[in-house]
Structure 1
Amino acid sequence: MNECAPQKSWFARNWGWAVPVGGCLVIIVLFFVFLGSVIFGVNELMTGSDPYKEGLATAQQDEYVISILGEPIETDGIMQGELSYKNNQGKANISIPIKGPKGEAKLYVEGTKLNDEWTYSEMYVIISETDEQIDLLGYKKD
């Protein structure tokens, strides 16, 4: 008599290593999803801030910056720096990579917030190619 014993399924034969490996993969995927959502959330908070918006708008309207970078001027990467708010007071010290059709630069914004009003002590653009510094609050420096 030649009877075939039913063969175990793949999972029944390999569960000893498949369950731990699968569990580890799930944990790794969840970690990266969490990390991505944190980075995305922080980036959204920072790009929605008044210093970010006002600095970018000022650079986009400055004729000298437009003549060097061209139009349109847009962001070119992830903003860096710090923003803090506490009890109607705030502080900003950020740098924003920007670009235009003719070149790239970094926009720097530094200011304080008191009673819901931002006051900027520094707002300038440094052109990547020449290291020229353009003050957006009033005067230009090389």
Structure 2
Amino acid sequence: MPQESPKQLTPTVLPLFMPSDRTNDYVPPKSWLRRNWLWFLPVGCLSSLLLFAGTIALIAHLVFSTLKQSDPYQTALASAQASPELAAKIGSPVEASYFATGSIHLENSDGDASLAIPVSGPEGGAIIYVEATKSSGEWTYEYLSAELNDTRERIALDPSRGE
């Protein structure tokens, strides 16, 4: 029997890029936003809302703290705390609430103030009304009184007690 010669193996080289009939085989990966939108959308909206609310709260805090540091506010509150008539009606100690309303306009050493300051004691509450003008650096109080919440009775306050 004749002897067969061993087959020679030739290495085959595969091309790096195989041509295809389809031209759109490559599918790009989804973007980060497309993969995470389900949690990103509510968290992003909530974060924006909290940032907006925090900004408003900060502005309100700055306005109220500026109002509370003014001379008319300090004098009115000290006059109310030193008033025996007010202490007899709402109790002692007389404490101011966080919110005060009104306006203060200052220009150099002149200005005016119109404030309403809620105060409370152990037996009730009142609102202190202040109308004052500032001339040459000195505050003059045209009106300073406390109105009781339950009876609407007005008690005149002496600004000299608060200075």
Shorter-chain TM-score category?
0.7 to 0.9
TM-score by length of 1: 0.82
Aligned pairs, how many?
Answer: 129
Partner of 1:99: 120
Partner of 1:57: 78
Alignment of 1:1-142 (within 5 A): 14-137=35-158
Partner of 2:17: none
**SS state of the match for residue 126, structure 1?**
strand
User: Which structure has more RCO (C-alpha within 8 Å, separation ≥ 6)?
Assistant: 2
Q: CA deviation at 1:26?
A: 2.1
Q: CA deviation at 1:77?
A: 4.0
- Bigger strand fraction: 1
- In 1: Cα distance, 2:61 partner to 2:153 partner: 32
| Percentage identity across paired residues of the two chains | 32
- In 1: Cα distance, 2:68 partner to 2:124 partner: 22
**SS state of the match for residue 129, structure 1?**
coil
**Higher alpha-carbon Rg:** 2
Long gaps (5+) in structure 1: 1-10
Long gaps (5+) in structure 2: 1-31
Q: Map Cα deviations across residues 75-125 of structure 1 (whole Å, 9 max, x no partner).
A: 134101111111221111000111111111100011011122110100000
Pick closer, same or farther for the CA change 1:61–1:15 going to 2, 3 Å. Answer: same
Q: CA deviation at 1:137?
A: 3.8
